[in-house]
């Protein structure tokens, strides 16, 4: 049996060779994903360099809900070609876990990772993307550029006519928006009080793309509770148009997760891919695509790691968003309070 191009870590069991051999006969992998090809490409390049016989590795770019709905519909008829699901929507993952359709697999990388790595049974975090504030550097003088949502609230209150209707926010009525807003108000000291101050100046949008477009055009000066994985690369490439900031009062980081489904037609390749994503090499490749690695000690220069964010803000001000399925009444009450704050 030919070995892989680079030797496996010594802590991998000898039986792992059987997974590798199985993948040689599968040759492909299909991921139902909400993640862009720009993010995936460095990961796929590094993965296929390690396992060059996997010549057909592909990922979709579905909407968040479509990742799950497409798979559920196909699985009900026994015809799904998907091997893995990828998303950063905590409530959707909690519902997925309750259906018990994740393949049971314990990655040999687990003991080298923080305790939250397996966020739910069979669901593995492979990045933790920070939720940030985006702003337009051309419409704002340096003294009006915030360092978080609390800072932004003070700026807006000091110039109410200037900033009325100039703040965009991720809508909590969708899965991602609810998760990040709820995580902020649940974990950041005075979170609801800050929202009560800033939301009267805000409009909610359903997509990050809309928020980015409106900030770039100047329709909004700011956008809050938006994924850093989406906006930080855009801001860095905007030739000075866009700026961004963590929330100094407390930054939420959202696990972007992956799961092998029980019906995976290429289960060997799927296991290799999960383990690669969780390895040092895979975490560095994820960083090259703009994601936030969380495995300690990963060598990369592309973006802040979780440990970098913790050093900048303090560990107590970095909050990992939990994957939990909340009762509809709880969500309805949250949305009602949000709408009241908008006034």
**DSSP letter for each residue of 36-65:** -HHHHHHHHHHHHHHSTT--EEEE----HH
In eight-state DSSP terms, residue 102 is B
User: Residue 1 pLDDT more than 50?
Assistant: no
Q: What is the pTM of this model?
A: 0.93
- Based on the domain organization, do 186 and 75 belong to the same domain? no
- Based on the domain organization, do 48 and 100 belong to the same domain? yes
User: Residue 156 pLDDT more than 50?
Assistant: yes
- Based on the domain organization, do 239 and 151 belong to the same domain? yes
Q: Which has the closest alpha carbon to 175: 233, 115, 91, 296? A: 91
Share of residues in the chain with pLDDT > 90 (%): 88
Domain, as residue range, for 200: 129-253+322-342
Report the pLDDT averaged over residues 31-45: 95
Specify if 3 maps to a domain: no
Give the three-class secondary structure for 43.
Answer: helix
- Based on the domain organization, do 123 and 267 belong to the same domain? yes
What angle do helix axes 208-217 and 228-236 make, rounded to 10 degrees? 30
Share of residues in the chain with pLDDT > 70 (%): 98
Structural domain total, the chain: 2
- Based on the domain organization, do 225 and 183 belong to the same domain? yes
- Based on the domain organization, do 247 and 265 belong to the same domain? no
- Dihedral class, residue 107 (left if φ above 0, else alpha if ψ from -120 to 50, else beta): beta
Alpha carbon distance 180, 211 (integer Å): 15
Alpha carbon distance 283, 279 (integer Å): 6
The separation between the first and the last C-alpha atoms of the chain, rounded to the nearest angstrom, is 67
> Using one digit for the tens of pLDDT, what is the confidence trace for 201-235?
999 998 889 999 999 999 999 999 999 998 999 99
> Using one digit for the tens of pLDDT, what is the confidence trace for 239-275?
999 999 999 999 999 999 999 999 999 999 999 999 9
User: Residue 3 pLDDT more than 70?
Assistant: no
- Residue 128 in contact with residue 320, Cβ under 8 Å? yes
What CATH number has the domain bearing residue 311? Answer: 3.40.190.10
pLDDT for the residue 17: 95
């Amino acid at each position: 049996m030919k070995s892989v191009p680079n030797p496996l870590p010594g802590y991998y069991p000898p039986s792992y060779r059987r997974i590798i051999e199985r993948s040689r006969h599968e040759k492909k992998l299909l991921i139902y994903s909400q993640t862009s090809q720009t993010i995936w490409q460095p990961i796929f390049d590094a993965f296929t360099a390690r396992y060059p016989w996997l010549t057909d590795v592909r990922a979709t770019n579905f909407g968040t809900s479509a990742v799950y709905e497409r798979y559920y519909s196909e699985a009900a008829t026994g015809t799904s070609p998907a091997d893995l699901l990828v998303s950063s929507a905590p409530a959707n993952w909690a519902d997925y876990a309750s259906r018990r359709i994740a393949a049971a697999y314990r990655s040999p990388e687990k003991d080298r990772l923080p305790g939250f790595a397996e966020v739910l049974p069979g669901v593995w975090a492979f990045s933790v993307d920070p939720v940030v504030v985006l702003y337009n550097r051309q419409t704002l003088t340096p003294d009006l550029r915030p360092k978080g949502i609390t800072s932004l609230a003070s700026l807006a209150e000091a110039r109410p006519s200037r900033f009325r209707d100039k703040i965009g926010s991720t809508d909590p009525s969708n899965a991602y928006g609810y998760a990040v807003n709820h995580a902020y108000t649940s974990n950041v000291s005075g979170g609801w009080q800050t929202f009560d101050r800033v939301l009267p100046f805000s409009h909610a949008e359903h997509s990050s793309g809309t928020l980015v477009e409106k900030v770039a055009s100047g329709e909004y000066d700011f956008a809050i509770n938006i994924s850093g994985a989406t906006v930080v690369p855009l801001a860095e490439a905007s030739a000075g148009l866009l700026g961004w900031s963590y929330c100094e009062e407390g930054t939420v980081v959202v696990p972007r997760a992956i799961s092998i489904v029980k019906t995976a037609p290429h289960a060997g390749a799927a296991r290799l891919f999960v383990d690669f994503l969780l390895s040092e090499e895979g975490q560095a490749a994820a960083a090259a695509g703009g994601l936030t690695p969380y495995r300690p000690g990963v060598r990369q220069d592309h973006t802040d790691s979780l440990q970098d964010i913790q050093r900048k803000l303090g560990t107590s001000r970095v909050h990992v968003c939990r994957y939990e399925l909340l009762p509809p009444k709880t969500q309805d009450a949250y949305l009602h309070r949000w709408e009241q704050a908008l006034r």
